[in-house]
Structure 1
Amino acid sequence: MTDDDFALSRRTFLDRVLLASAGLGMSTAAPWAARAAEDIPKGQRVRIGVIGTGDRGRTLIQNLNKTRNCTVAALCDTFEPHMAKARAYVPANTPVFTDHRKMLEAREIDAVVIATPLDLHARQTIDALDAGYPVFCEKAMARTIADCSAMVTRARQRGKILQIGHQRLFNPTYLNALKRAQAGEIGPITQIRASWHRNRSWRRQIPPGGTEREINWRLHRDRSAGLMTELATHQLQVANWFMGGLPTRVMGSGSICFWKDGRDVYDQVALIYDYSDGRKVIYTSMLNNARYGCEEQIQGSKGTIEPELGRIYQEVQPGAVPALARMRADVQAGRKNTVPIGGATWFPELPVTTPGDSLGWGEYDETMLQFEGFGEAVRSGKEVPGLLAQAYHASVASLLGEQAIDQGKALAWPTDLVTF
C-alpha cells in the first residue's frame, strides 16, 4: 500500500464504511474525517498531555506523532525509567511532570491522554475533567462499574469529551465487516465465539527503582481484573457491536491454572454472555497457549465473519453421505449392488476450510485513526457519537463477567447503569 493509498484511506474510511454503524449511534456523516486528514500547522494542533509513559503510553505517543491534528505537549509519570524512554519520542524541550495535577495546573495543554494502570483511570480522568480538559483514557475504563459510571457522569457534568481507547471502532476492516453483517450477508447472527490466547506469564522483570505492584500491576486483583479488563474488554465491545445490543446475563468460570507464581488474577477464563432471543457470546482467554491467538467468529445462518483475519465466509451446505448417495443412484438406475453394513457410518465433521473472501483494506493504523478522531472532537467541541456508550458497556460487561466468575453464578445485566 502506497503513501497515497494510505492518505486516501485515512481521508475517506469513515465516509465509506461508517454507515455500517448508523443504528448504534455512530456518526454517519463523519464531518471530522476529511478535516482530520488535512495537514494542520503545528501551532494549531491539539496539544496533548500524556499521563503514563510505560509500554502502552509510549505506543500511544508514537501514534499521536503520526496524526495530522495532534501533538504531544507534556509528559507525566512517577517512574523515571519510563519517562526517560518516552523522552526519545518528543522534542527535548517538552515539559515533564511527576504529578498529573501539576501538569493540569500548568495550562500548557488542550487535552489529556491517560495510559496508567487501570485502578488510576477514574481518579485521573475526573481530575482532568474537573480541570476543564477533554480526556482520552485507555481501556478498560476503570476497576469498578461504579467508577466507570462516575467517569461518564462527570464528563456530562463538565460538558467535556471523554473517549476510551477502543480502536476497533476506527478499524476500517471491522467497520466494513459490520456493514456487511448488517446488510444480511451472513444471515441472523446467533452466536459469536471470541478468544484471546497468549503464551506468556505477563510477569515483567522489575527494573531498578521499580516495585512489584508498580510494574506487575496486571497481576494484582485490586489493580486489575487481568484477562477480563486487559483483553476481554476489546472483544466484548465487538460482540455488543455486532449483536446490536447488550447482554442480558453472564456466567463464567476462571482459575489460576498454569502460572502459579503468586498472582491473584485468573490466567484462564471461559464465559457465556446471553443476549436477547437466545443468542450467545462465548469468550475464552488464557496465558499458556497461543495456538488460536486473538480472533472473533461472528456466526450467522448464511455465513461467518472473522474480522481479526479480515475474511468473510459463506456457509457451505453439507453434501449427502457418499454411501447413501450411491445407493440412491443405484435404486434410481435399477442396479442391484451389495449394501455394506459393517463399515463406517459416521465421519468427523471437520471445520470447513474454504478460503472465504477478503474484507478489503490494506495496512493502516486504527490507533492513529482514533486519535485523529479525538483531535477533531477536541477542536470542534463535539464528541464522535456512540463511542463512549460502546466503551462503557464493554467495561461493564468485562467487570460483570469477573463478578460472575468470582460468585460462581449467572448474573443479570445491571439495571442502575448510566443511560445514553
Structure 2
Amino acid sequence: MSDVILGLVGVGRIGVMHANNIVALKDTLARRGVNIRLMLTDVATDHARSVAAGLGAEFVPSVGELLESGIDGLVIATGTATHPELIRAGVDAGIPVFCEKPVALNVADALPVLDYIRENNGVVQIGHQRRFDAGYVEARRAYQAGELGWIHSLRAVTCDMAPPPIAFLATSGGLFRDCSVHDFDILRWLTGREIVEVYAKGSNNGDPGIGEAGDVDTALALITFDDGTVGTVSASRYNGAGHDVRLEVQGSTGSVMVGLDEKTAVSSAEHGVTFPQGNPHQTFAERFDQAYRSEMVAFVELVMGERGNPCTPEDAVAASRVADAAQESLASGVAVKVALKVSS
C-alpha cells in the first residue's frame, strides 16, 4: 500500500471541513491500495493541535516545516490575502496545490501568480466545488450531449439564509466577488463559452450596515456570452426560506434545473401542489457537502497523477474577471465589457 500525505494550511471553518473530508477518504482509498495521511498547521496553534488530535492527523508548527516534511500535496484554506504566497511556496516545493478560491484579493494581484505557476510548471487546483455537484455535472452532460438543443436562456440563483458579519462583508470585495463568482465559474464551465458583458443592479433593504460597508444585500446581473446568449445571475444575503442555489438552463429542445429537489428553498403557490416537502438546506456547506468531498477526491487523484486539473487558476481568474465587471457595473450603472486576457 502506498502513502499519500496531504498537508493542510488553515483550520478555520472551511479548513476543518476539508480536513474532515480528507480523513473520511481513508477507507475508500484503502480499497485502491492508498493510505491517506494528513498533516496540518495554522497560526492558531492551540486550535490546530486540537483539530489534529481529534482527526488523528499530525500537527506541524509552521508552513515551512510542513513543506519540508515530505508531503505529496498542499491544501490551502487560509484567508485570501495569504493565497499568493502559499501557492508560490507549494509550487517551489514541487508538489500539487489545492487552494480555495480566489487566487488573490483581486485580478491584478492574481496575474503574477498565474505567471509564476506557468514559469515553474506548477500544478494548482482552485476550489470551485460546484463543478463536482451532481446536478451541475448532469446539466453539463445533457447540454453537451445535445439533449437541450441550443441554449436560449440561463438563470442562476445563489441566496444565503442570512448575511455574514459586517466585518467580513467590508473586506469581501462585494456580493458578486464573494458569492456570484461561483455562478460565473459554473456558467463558463457548463457552456464552454466566455461571458463578455455584464449589466448589474443591486439593492439594500436589510441591515443598513451592509450599505455602509460598501456592499449590497441583493443583486442581479444580466450577462451576455460571446455567442450572444443571455442569462441572469442573482444573489441575496437574505433568503429566510433557506440556502437556495439553483441554475435553470433553457434550450431549444429541452430544459433542466439544477437544485430542484425535496430540499429546494421554495414553495409552490399552485393549489394542491405540495412539492417540495423536505427541509431546505441551511448553509452552503450542507448544500454542497458531497461536492466538497468529490472535489477533494479529485485533488488526491491529481496528486497521484491519475487525472488532469479540474479547475485551473486561469479558470478561477476568468470567473473573477466577470465578478469584477459586475461590481464595476453595479457602481457605475452602465454595462461593462469583460476583459478576457488572463495573463499579465
Q: TM-score, normalised by structure 1?
A: 0.67
Shift of 1:70: 7.0
Bigger-Rg structure (1/2): 1
Alignment pair present for 1:286 and 2:236? yes
| 1:95 aligned residue | 59
Query: Given residue 260 of structure 2, which amino acid in structure 1 is its aligned partner?
Result: L
- Match among 219, 224, 236 for residue 274 of structure 1: 224
Structure 1 residues without counterparts, runs of 5 or longer: 1-40, 204-215, 312-349, 356-362
Contact 1:192 1:296 survives alignment (8 Å):
yes
Compare 377-386 and 397-406 and name the one that shifted more.
377-386
Give the Cα–Cα distance (whole angstroms) in 1 for the partners of residues 327 and 51 of structure 2: 33
SS across alignment from 1:194: strand
Contact 1:50 1:72 survives alignment (8 Å):
no
- Match among 220, 229, 237 for residue 185 of structure 2: 237
- Between the two proteins, what is the percent identity of the paired residues? 25
Give the Cα–Cα distance (whole angstroms) in 2 for the partners of residues 310 and 153 of structure 1: 42
Shift of 1:299: 1.5
Contact 1:164 1:387 survives alignment (8 Å):
yes
**Residues 381, 185 of structure 1: alpha-carbon distance in 2 compared, 3 angstrom cutoff:** closer
- Match among 298, 302, 319 for residue 373 of structure 1: 298
| 2:82 aligned residue | 120
What are the Cα deviations for residues 264-312 of structure 1, in whole angstroms up to 9, with x where unaligned? 433222211111343122111111224472111111233321122269x
Give the Cα–Cα distance (whole angstroms) in 2 for the partners of residues 217 and 51 of structure 1: 23
Contact 2:246 2:259 survives alignment (8 Å):
yes
- Alignment: residue pair count: 316
Query: Given residue 74 of structure 2, which amino acid in structure 1 is its aligned partner?
Result: V
Give the Cα–Cα distance (whole angstroms) in 2 for the partners of residues 217 and 161 of structure 1: 33
Shift of 1:247: 0.8
| 2:42 aligned residue | 77
Give the Cα–Cα distance (whole angstroms) in 2 for the partners of residues 237 and 178 of structure 1: 13
| 2:145 aligned residue | 183
What are the Cα deviations for residues 182-207 of structure 1, in whole angstroms up to 9, with x where unaligned? 2232221122111111231312xxxx
Contact 1:255 1:266 survives alignment (8 Å):
yes
Q: TM-score, normalised by structure 2?
A: 0.80
Query: Given residue 22 of structure 2, which amino acid in structure 1 is its aligned partner?
Result: L
**Residues 180, 259 of structure 1: alpha-carbon distance in 2 compared, 3 angstrom cutoff:** same
| 1:156 aligned residue | 118
Query: Given residue 390 of structure 1, which amino acid in structure 2 is its aligned partner?
Result: D
In the TM superposition, 1:279-318 aligns within 5 A as: 279-291=229-241, 293-309=244-260
| 1:260 aligned residue | 208
Give the Cα–Cα distance (whole angstroms) in 2 for the partners of residues 271 and 393 of structure 1: 17
Give the Cα–Cα distance (whole angstroms) in 2 for the partners of residues 115 and 264 of structure 1: 26
Give the Cα–Cα distance (whole angstroms) in 2 for the partners of residues 220 and 72 of structure 1: 37
What are the Cα deviations for residues 163-215 of structure 1, in whole angstroms up to 9, with x where unaligned? 01122222343222211122232221122111111231312xxxxxxxxxxxx
SS across alignment from 1:295: strand
Shift of 1:418: 3.1
Alignment pair present for 1:384 and 2:309? yes
Give the Cα–Cα distance (whole angstroms) in 1 for the partners of residues 328 and 37 of structure 2: 38
Give the Cα–Cα distance (whole angstroms) in 2 for the partners of residues 139 and 65 of structure 1: 22
Structure 2 residues without counterparts, runs of 5 or longer: 263-269, 276-287
Shift of 1:129: 1.5
| 1:339 aligned residue | none
Give the Cα–Cα distance (whole angstroms) in 2 for the partners of residues 73 and 183 of structure 1: 39
Give the Cα–Cα distance (whole angstroms) in 2 for the partners of residues 265 and 102 of structure 1: 39
Shift of 1:139: 1.7
| 1:358 aligned residue | none
| 2:267 aligned residue | none
| Structure with higher strand content | 2
| 1:27 aligned residue | none
Q: CA RMSD in A?
A: 3.2
Alignment pair present for 1:168 and 2:130? yes
Shift of 1:89: 4.0
**Residues 291, 283 of structure 1: alpha-carbon distance in 2 compared, 3 angstrom cutoff:** farther
